Structure 1
Amino acid sequence: MADINIQRKKSSPSPWLLVLLVLVALGLLGYFLFRSDSTTPAEQPAPATTSATPVAPEADTTAQASPPPAEGTAAGGDAAAVADMAAEEAPATADELDTFARGEADSPDYGRRGLQMLTSSLSALADRADLRGDATVAERRNDLTSAMSRSSEPNASLRPGFVAVAGLLQAIQQKSYPDLEKPVAELGEQARALSGRTTAADQPALQAFFTKAATILQTLNEPTP
């Protein structure tokens, strides 16, 4: 009787095990893919943030800049103001003072206006090269400036201004004009006799003072002998 070789049949792997391995592999693959997708945006800079940042354009700065003043308006007004100031600061001449003294005695501001004209003329004269270095002239000029400053106060008397004018004229006369000693001394007496008011009763005395001062000023403006 022949021997029958009986071999045990090998068991094949369970299909469920294969399915489980496939699921695990898919799970791992999905995990890594998801992790890669979630970390990539955080690592890369967002270009939208840079483009969205507001930048001040040059057009805004230009729009806020003040436009240049129109010709003939602000600039013209400043030029007119400067011209008016220059006209007020220009020293009055002897002829202008004489014309004022003789023709505007009825003006309500006659005394103050005449004193201002005299002050401007004598201040310019005291700054002349041959008189500028004299100590007495400089001192009397300062006295006149102080007197005029006080005369601008309300209800202030003009008499200190007239006396200071006579004092400066005397200093100039003693420095360079010996022939004017008598008329300058007479003007000083007139100045001390003035009341300092500008009423109608004071107008004749004021007119005599200004007229005589204009005559002296005419000589002072001539070259020294």
Structure 2
Amino acid sequence: MADINIQRKKSSPSPWLLVLLVLLGLAAVGYYVFRADSDQPVPAVPAAPVAEPAPDSTTGAETAPRPTNDPAVAEMATEEPGGSPDELAAFAASDATVPTYGRRGLEVLMATLRPLADRDDLRDATVSEKRDDLTSATSRLQEAGTSLRPGYVAAANLIKAIQQKGYPALENDANELVSQANALSGRTTTPQEQQQVQAFLSRSADIVKVISQPAR
């Protein structure tokens, strides 16, 4: 009887081992690919061009204020008039037919009265109150169509308060000034109104010249 040669069957490798080897290979390939990419220099992004500043229009040129055709802007350039008794008297004697005569005259009068109302020997509760009234009455002086009469009356009342504080000899003059202010219409459109405003400003200048001197 013939002998039968029996050989053991070799065990095949586990499929999980093959899967693990494949994953390790893929990981190694991915690592080297990522490292190769990271080793490459990153191209520099060109900086955005900086716009050249516009040339200074005043360089090498005259820098004086440019003329304007806007009357409102032109008046703003001289918004703060002088404030001395002499300047007030000079303005009062100027041409009263100028359309802005009444408003500008009130502004000069205000500028003249403010330092007097703040003077140590004249300042008291009544004078301070009348000064505040003048400021309130002229708060809208620059608005078109604003009546000037409240400002004239407030200015006359402030002069009256200053007179009562230290100038008893000017009592009649101050009373007449208040009456003149109350009689004004607040306009300078007619010759009569222009004369009335001019007379009020002239009398105010005369009184202010006296009260600008130290009280005796």
CA distance in 1 between partners of 2:39 and 2:55 (Å): 39
**Structure 2 counterpart of 1:125, from 116, 127, 134:** 116
- Return the structure number with greater helix share: 1
CA distance in 1 between partners of 2:109 and 2:119 (Å): 16
Matched, 1:200 2:175: no
CA distance in 2 between partners of 1:187 and 1:208 (Å): 10
For 1:136, the equivalent position in structure 2 comes to 126
User: Residues 203 and 56 from structure 1, CA distance in 2 versus in 1: closer, same or farther, beyond 3 angstroms?
Assistant: same
CA distance in 2 between partners of 1:145 and 1:201 (Å): 27
User: Residues 48 and 185 from structure 1, CA distance in 2 versus in 1: closer, same or farther, beyond 3 angstroms?
Assistant: farther
Identity of aligned residues (%): 44
Matched, 1:177 2:146: no
**Structure 2 counterpart of 1:88, from 65, 79, 88:** 79
How far apart are residue 56 of structure 1 and its match? 4.8
TM-score (norm 1): 0.65
For 1:216, the equivalent position in structure 2 comes to 207
How far apart are residue 188 of structure 1 and its match? 0.8
**Structure 1 counterpart of 2:95, from 100, 104, 114:** 104
Amino acid at match of 1:105: A
Asked if the contact 2:81–2:108 (Cα under 8 Å) also holds between the matched residues in 1, the reply is no
How far apart are residue 169 of structure 1 and its match? 0.5
Aligned length: 184
Cα distance per residue 1:143-189 (max 9 Å; x no partner): 11121124544433322111111111111111222222221111111
Which of the pair has more CA radius of gyration?
Answer: 1
* Structure 2 residue runs without a partner (length 5+): 1-24, 67-74
For 1:155, the equivalent position in structure 2 comes to 145
User: Residues 47 and 56 from structure 1, CA distance in 2 versus in 1: closer, same or farther, beyond 3 angstroms?
Assistant: farther
**Structure 1 counterpart of 2:177, from 183, 187, 197:** 187
CA distance in 2 between partners of 1:171 and 1:91 (Å): 22
Amino acid at match of 2:34: A
TM-score (norm 2): 0.68
User: Residues 203 and 128 from structure 1, CA distance in 2 versus in 1: closer, same or farther, beyond 3 angstroms?
Assistant: same
Cα distance per residue 1:109-155 (max 9 Å; x no partner): 222221111112112322223344x1111111111112112454443
CA distance in 2 between partners of 1:163 and 1:72 (Å): 52
